[in-house]
Structure 1
Amino acid sequence: MTAVLDRPASHPAPVRRSRRSLRRTALVLGPLLILALSLGYPLIWAVSSSFTDRSGAYVGTDTWRAALGDDAVRNAFVTTLKVAALSTAGCVVVGTFLAFVLAFVPFRGSSLVVRIIESVVSLPSFLIPLALGVLFGPVGVIASATGHRFSFMSSLLGVVLAEVAFYTPFVVRPLLAAFASFPAAHIDVASSLGAGPLRIAVRVIAPQVWPSLAAAAALTFLLTLNEFGIVLFTGAKDVMTLPMLIYTKSMVSSDFATAAVLATVQLVLSVSAYLCYRTIVRRFGATT
C-alpha cells in the first residue's frame, strides 16, 4: 500500500498531447504575430492613408483620382513595367546563354565562373551601377576617352544594363539545376540521328527546362519591378519608376497620401507578379 502511495503521479496521455499541441501552436503563432505587426500594420496603414489628403483628413477616393489622373504617375507606371520587362528579357537571354555554356561546354575554371556569378547576388544592388558608372558614366573612363560620346549610364539603357548585370544569376542558377537533371542520353540520341547543336537546344533541351526558365523569368520580373537602389544610383533623372516616385512624393514632397496611393498600386503589381511566379512553380514543379 505504501509503495503505491509513494509512486509519482503521471499525467494521462491526452493531457501530454494537449500540452505538446499548445507548445506547437505557440511556436507557430509567435512568429505569425511578429510578422503581422511588422508587415501587416504598415500595409494596412499605407492602404488606409491612400484615402486621406496631405493633412491626414479622410477624403474618400479624391486622392486616388488625383494621383491616377496625373501624367507623371501614368508615365512612372509605364516606365516601371518597361524597365522590368526589358531587364527580365535581358536576364533571360544572357542567363540562358551562360547556363547553357556552363552546363554543356565544359572548360577549365567553369566551377569558378559559377561561384563568381552566384556571388553577385550577395552584393548590395547599388554597387553594380556605381561600378558601371566608373566605366560608362558621364565622367567615367570610357566617356572621358571618347570625348563623352559614349556615356549611357544615366539613361534607360544604363538602368536596364545594371539590372541585367545584377539579376542574371537568378536565371543562371535555376537553369543550371534544370540542366543538371537533364538526361545526357537524350542529347546523344539526338546527335546520333544527325541533329545539330541548335536543333538539339531548341527541340530536345528547351521543352524540358522551359518551366524552370519561366519561373526564373517571373521571379526576375518581380524583383526588377520593385528595384529602387539601382535606379537611384544610376542617376537616370529621366527614368522615373513607381518606387522612385514613391520616394520622391514621401521624402521630398512630404505628400504621404499620394505616396500611399502609389505604394498600394505597387503592392498590387508585386502581388500579381508573385502569384504568377508561384503558379508556374506549383503547376510545373519548376526548379528555382
Structure 2
Amino acid sequence: MLQTIRERDDLKGLLLVGPIAFWLGLFLLVPLALMVVVSFADRGTYGDVVYRFSLDNYRALAAPEYARILGRSVEVAFWTTAMCMAAGYPLAYFIALSPPRRRWLLLFLVLVPFWTNFLIRIYAWMIILRSKGVLAAFLGAVGLLPGPAEAWFARIQLYTPGAVLVGMVYEFLPFMVLPLYASLEKLDLSLLDAAADLGARPWRAFARVTLPLSLPGIVAGSVLVFVPAMGMFVVPDLMGGAQTVLIGNLVNNQFLKARDWPLGAAASMVMLVLTLGVTLLYTRVFGSGEELVA
C-alpha cells in the first residue's frame, strides 16, 4: 500500500518536473552544447562553419587585444556592481523604513523605467550626455560649463567609458534595489534600539546589525547586476562607441558582422566560464548571505 502511494507520488513529481526539464533541455542545454561544439570548429572561406576541430579559436582569444577586452569587461561589470550598490543601498534602506503607503509608491517609481522600451531609455541618456545635450546646456546655463564642471563632464559625456557606466548603472540599479529592499524590509528595528540602548553609535549599529542582516540582499543583488553587466553589448555599443568594446560587443560582432561563428562561440564560452568563476568565487567568500547572518 505504502509502495503504491510512493509510486504515485513519484509519478506526480515526474509529471510536474518533466515539462520544465524538457523545456530547459531543449532551449538551454542543447543550444549550449551546440555552442561548445562550434567553438572548436573553424571558419570557412565564405563565413560557413567547418567542423575541423582545434583549439585555434581559444588560442586567438589569448592575444593581447582580446585579453584587454576581457579585462575591461570584468572591470566595467565590477564598477557597475559597486556603483549600483553605493546608490541602491541607501535607496533600499530609505524605502524599507518608509510608511507602507509611501513605500509602495517608491517601489513603483523604481520599477517605472521597465515600462518603457530599453532602447528608448538608452537614447534618452544619449540625448542627455552628448556634447551639446541637455546636461551640457544646463551646466552652461548655471555657469559651470565651461568652468569647474568641464573636467567632470568630459569623463561622462557620450562616447566615453564614463557614459557607459552611467548607462549600465541606470539599467541595472533596480536589480540591486529590489533584493536589498527584500532583506532590509525584514529588519527588526528593535535590534537597532537595543544597540542604541547599549551605547552603540549609529555607524556601529549599522556595521554590527543592519549590514550583516542585509547580506543576503547584497549577495543576490551583486550577482543579478554583475552577470548581465558582463554580457551587455547594447549600452557600450550605443553610449561608448569604439572606445569601449566589451566581451559582449566582441561576441555580437563575430556573429553578425565578421561572420566568424567559431570565434564568437569561443568568446561566448570564455565569457560564460569567466562569469561563473567570478560568481562562484563571490558566493564562496560571502556564501548566500544566510550563513554569515546565522
TM-score, scaled to structure 2 = 0.80
AA aligned opposite 1:192? D
Matched letter for residue 166 of structure 2: L
Matching residue of 2:23: 34
Task: Report the Cα distance in structure 1 between the residues aligned to 2:137 and 2:164, rounded to whole angstroms.
Answer: 20
1:7 corresponds in structure 2 to: none
1:68 matches 2:62: yes
In structure 1, distance between residues paired with 2:7 and 2:204: 62
Kindly report which structure 2 residues correspond to 1:89-104, keeping only aligned pairs within 5 A, or say none: 89-104=82-97
Pair 27,100 (structure 1): closer, same or farther in 2 beyond 3 Å: closer
The answer on whether the counterparts of 2:219 and 2:289 sit within 8 Å (CA) in structure 1 is: no
- Range 206-215 or range 261-270, more displaced: 206-215
Aligned identity (percent) is 25
Would you say 1:284 and 2:290 are equivalent positions?
yes
CA RMSD of aligned residues (A): 3.1
- Alignment coverage as a number of residue pairs: 275
Cα separation, partners in 2 of 1:105 and 1:72, compared to 1, 3 Å:
same
* Inter-partner Cα distance in structure 2 for 1:227 and 1:177: 26
Question: What is the Cα deviation at residue 101 of structure 1?
Answer: 2.4
Using a 3 Å threshold, how does the CA distance of structure 1 residues 222 and 273 change in structure 2: closer, same or farther?
farther
1:81 aligns with 2:74: yes
Q: Name the CA shift for 1:262/1:109 in 2 (closer, same or farther; >3 Å).
A: same
TM-score, length-normalised on structure 1? 0.81
- Match of 2:259, SS state, is coil
- Contact 1:219-1:277 within 8 A present in 2 as well: no
Report the CA distance between 1:95 and its aligned residue. 0.6
Q: 1:161 offset after TM fit, Å?
A: 1.2
**Structure 1 residue 236 corresponds to structure 2 residue 230:** no
Cα deviation, 1:94-138, whole Å, max 9, x if unaligned, reads 011112223346698453222211333455443432221121124
SS at match of 2:277: helix
The 1:156/1:43 distance shift into structure 2, 3 A limit, reads: same
Change in CA separation of 1:191 and 1:121 when aligned onto 2, cut-off 3 Å: farther
Distance in 2 between residues matched to 1:139 and 1:217, nearest whole Å: 34
**Contact 1:103 1:176 (8 Å CA) reproduced:** yes
Distance 2:162 2:80 in 1: 10
* Whole-angstrom CA distance in 1 between matches of 2:10 and 2:99: 53
Q: Larger Cα Rg: Structure 1 or Structure 2?
A: 1
